[in-house]
Amino acid sequence: MESRTPSVASRMDPAEATNPTARPPVEGSNGSLFYSEPEAAARLGVHRTTLRALALAGRAPVEPIAITAHRRIYRRADIHRLAGLEP
C-alpha cells in the first residue's frame, strides 16, 4: 500500500508560503514553549542525529533540557534566535 504525504506547501502557514526563505513547518509547532529534538533540528536545518550527537557531547548550539536519559527538548526562543526566525 502506497502512503501519500501531503506536500510541504499544503502544510505551510500562509505567511510562510509567501516567504521563499521560510523553513517548512514542523509538527507540534502549536505555540508550545519547547521543541522536541526532531522539531528543533528541522528549524535549525540539521539532521536530528547531528543535534543529538552535539547535545550528548556538550557542544550543541543551544542548551537542551533533558526530560529522560534518552529524550531532550529545546527552548523555542533559543531555537528561533539561533535560526534567525525571531528577534
Q: What is the pTM of this model?
A: 0.61
8 A C-beta contact, residue 62 and residue 75: yes
pLDDT band at 84 (very low <50, low <70, confident <90, very high): confident
pLDDT band at 30 (very low <50, low <70, confident <90, very high): low
The pLDDT of residue 61: 87
**Residues composing the chain:** 87
In this structure, what C-alpha cell is assigned to residue 2? 502506497
What CATH number has the domain spanning 33-87?
A: 1.10.10
Q: Please give the Cα distance from 3 to 56 (Å, whole number).
A: 34
- pLDDT at residue 26 greater than cutoff 90: no
Q: Please give the Cα distance from 28 to 12 (Å, whole number).
A: 13
State the burial class of residue 25 (Cβ atoms within 10 Å of its Cβ: 0-12, 13-18, 19+): middle
